[in-house]
């Protein structure tokens, strides 16, 4: 199957409503904004509002990307979701919606038949995102021009993504499939955000005012929660040395044992981090699987299973796993990393 195959285009259209072909398909229905006020359109409106609300409040949910094809209802309500985000006139909402949509699409890419993923990624990179990209041979199936690579890898913290650590072949950077997926996810985020900004201001019609109000309230709740959390969060320099080391290894793409991952996640939950923030930290890893990571974090936080919230393992347990730093010399005899406090001058105390 190649991207000139009409069936290939149709399948892509159904799953990725931002494609030009999909916009034309939706356009062929001749739907205007005021048509959503007609009797019988309530379900489409609710779909569109829920999609935005879900993105603003919850981010990418575990239920996303189940492999089920979107219904026609979902497809036709998509342009209204975009219009609703524009009506909010809020740059935080724009950014968040773009991030969540990009994450959702990247999960859909993972669901595509492995035999076709290479063609799909190539199509989206070249035809939608206008990247200078070439197909190559495994394990480096893609070669992307270094200017595109730099543009979309700049936000990635893992050292392996830094250009100095990459091979460069006549101006092109060879990439493995998961690396290409990460680059495409970043590019999609930028693409969707630009599209939303380019729409500009849309006056809210009367029939949508209560819905836009509902979304504004959801946005305010989200913002308030984030501010509260930022206030209560312990700054990185005040984390115990073992937790700083685990975070460092995670960001460096080094192997972290199951116990190490559990310990860091339990620590973050207990100092007040939310699932979404912990996911963002773990998302820096190349082998990140959002569905599994979310399940594990929610399990530790007591939101799944028996509802038990796990505390951070004791220093003694962490020591037996070889993850304590300098045998606790820096920590003043504490029993649990949650007891660690660092004085403003830099000295640790209990």
User: Which of these, 214, 228, 199, 225, lies nearest to 59 by C-alpha position?
Assistant: 225
Residue 315 is assigned to a ligand binding site:
yes
Q: Are 328 and 319 in contact (CB under 8 A)?
A: yes
Q: Is 208 in the site for ligand SF4 (CB under 6 A)?
A: no
Of 17, 59, 260, 328, the residue at the interface with ligand SF4 (CB under 6 A) is 328
Kindly indicate which of the ranges 78-86, 157-165, 191-199, 321-329 contains the residues binding ligand SF4, using the contact rule CB under 6 A: 321-329
Structure tokens at 321: 């796993």
Task: Name residue, tokens 């700049």.
Answer: 154
Question: Does the annotation list 52 as a binding residue?
Answer: no
192 is in an annotated binding site: no
| Candidate ranges 6-14, 127-135, 183-191, 334-342; the one touching ligand SF4 (CB under 6 A) | 334-342
Under the criterion CB under 6 A, does residue 325 sit at the interface with ligand SF4?
Answer: yes
- Burial of residue 124 (number of CB atoms within 10 Å: 0-12, 13-18, 19+): buried
Is there binding between residue 318 and ligand SF4 (CB under 6 A)? yes
Query: Segment near ligand SF4 (CB under 6 A), from 55-63, 171-179, 198-206, 312-320?
Result: 312-320
Map the footprint of ligand SF4 across residues 224-253, applying CB under 6 A: 240-242
Which H or E element spans position 349?
A: strand 348-349
How far apart (Å, rounded) are the C-alpha atoms in residues 212 and 204? 8
Q: Assign 3-state DSSP to the chain and report helix, strand, coil percentages, each to 5.
A: 60, 5, 35
**Is 324 known to sit in a ligand binding site?**
yes
Give whichever of 108 and 334 is closer to ligand SF4, judged by the CB atom. Answer: 334
Query: What is the spatial distance between Cα 281 and Cα 269, in angstroms, rounded to a whole number?
Result: 13
33 vs 334, beta carbon nearer ligand SF4: 334
Task: Name the one range near ligand SF4 by CB under 6 A: 67-75, 190-198, 209-217, 324-332.
Answer: 324-332
* Closest distance to ligand SF4 from the beta carbon of 325 (Å): 4
Buried/exposed 77-89: b ≥16 CB within 10 Å, e otherwise = bbbbbbbbbbbbe
Q: Residues forming the annotated binding site for [4Fe-4S] cluster?
A: 242, 315, 324, 331
Interacting residue ranges for ligand SF4, rule: CB under 6 A:
240-242, 315, 318-319, 324-325, 328, 331, 334, 337, 340
């Amino acid at each position: 199957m190649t991207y000139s195959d009409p069936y290939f285009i149709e399948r892509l259209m159904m799953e990725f409503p931002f494609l030009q072909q999909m916009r034309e398909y939706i356009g062929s229905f001749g739907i205007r904004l005021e048509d959503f006020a007609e009797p019988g359109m309530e379900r489409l409106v609710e779909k569109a509002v829920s999609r935005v609300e879900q993105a603003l409040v919850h981010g990418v949910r575990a239920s996303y990307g189940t492999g089920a094809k979107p219904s026609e209802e979902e497809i036709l309500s998509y342009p209204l979701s975009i219009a609703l985000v524009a009506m909010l006139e809020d740059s935080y909402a724009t950014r968040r919606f773009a991030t969540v949509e990009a994450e959702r699409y990247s999960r859909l890419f993972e669901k595509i038949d492995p035999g076709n993923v290479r063609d799909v990624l190539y199509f989206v990179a070249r035809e939608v995102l206008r990247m200078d990209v070439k197909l190559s041979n495994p394990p480096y199936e893609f070669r992307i021009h270094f200017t595109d690579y730099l543009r979309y890898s700049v936000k990635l913290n893992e050292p392996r993504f830094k250009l100095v650590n990459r091979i460069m072949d006549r101006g092109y950077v060879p990439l493995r499939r998961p690396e290409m997926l990460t680059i495409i996810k970043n590019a999609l985020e930028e693409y969707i955000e630009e599209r939303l900004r380019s729409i500009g201001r849309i006056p809210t019609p009367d029939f949508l005012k209560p819905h836009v109000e509902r979304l504004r309230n959801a946005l305010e709740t989200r913002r308030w929660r984030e501010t509260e959390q930022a206030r209560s969060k312990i700054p990185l320099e005040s984390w115990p040395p073992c937790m700083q080391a685990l975070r460092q290894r995670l960001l460096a793409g080094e192997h972290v044992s199951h116990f190490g991952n559990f310990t860091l996640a339990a620590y973050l939950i207990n100092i007040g981090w939310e699932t979404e923030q912990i996911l963002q930290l773990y998302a820096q890893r190349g082998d990140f699987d959002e569905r599994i990571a979310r399940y594990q974090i929610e399990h530790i936080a007591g939101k799944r299973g028996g509802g038990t919230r796990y505390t951070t393992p004791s220093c003694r347990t962490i020591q037996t796993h070889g993850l304590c730093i300098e045998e606790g010399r820096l920590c003043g005899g504490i029993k649990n990393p949650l007891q660690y406090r660092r004085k403003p001058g830099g000295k640790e105390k209990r």
